[in-house]
Amino acid sequence: MTIKASKLGPGHLTFGSAGTTSEFGSQCTKVELNPKFDDGDIVTVLSGEELAEDDGESYELTGEFYQDYSMAGLLTWCKTNSGTVMPFVFVPDDESALSVTGSCKIRAVKIGGDVKKRNTTEFTFPGVGDYELVDHIAP
């Protein structure tokens, strides 16, 4: 098999439903979908028997973007939509087939940082339900 090593971008990160989407891609310097696994605990009962609890699987959509101090910027959008569950589409590379779709809970993010610098903000949006890897129609 031939080695393939893709680069992230140019791509897209959009939130919302068709017709009401917000694009994060133009501000993002980093985007990751991070699966998380929780091995079920073993619980010992009085008789000495053990019960294995179910394993859990979840994910987070994380990244970093440049701050924009306008009322139409992502800082304001995150605060306005904090607590809202929104569908997302993450296209790591417009020229490739892979696309990720799912839903996540939007959270407010940090505002500010170093004076006279172009500050960035990290975001972590917990996944809701499962995500899917789908075929992105490359141009």
Contact predicate 98/136, CB 8 Å: yes
Name the CATH topology of 12-135. Answer: Elongation Factor Tu (Ef-tu); domain 3 (2.40.30)
Identify the DSSP state of 40. Answer: P
pLDDT tens column, 50-90: 877 777 889 999 999 999 999 988 999 999 999 999 999 99
pTM: 0.83
Contacts of 136 (CB under 8 A, 6+ apart): 91, 94, 96, 97, 98, 99
**Distance between CA atoms of residues 75 and 10, nearest Å:** 22
Domain ranges of the chain: 12-135
Q: What sign for the dihedral angle of Cα 15, 20, 25, 28? A: negative
Give dist(CA 90, CA 14) in Å, integer. Answer: 7
Predicted confidence (pLDDT) per residue in 10-57, tens digit? 999 999 988 888 888 889 999 999 999 877 778 888 888 887 777 788
Which of these, 3, 21, 20, lies nearest to 12 by C-alpha position? Answer: 21
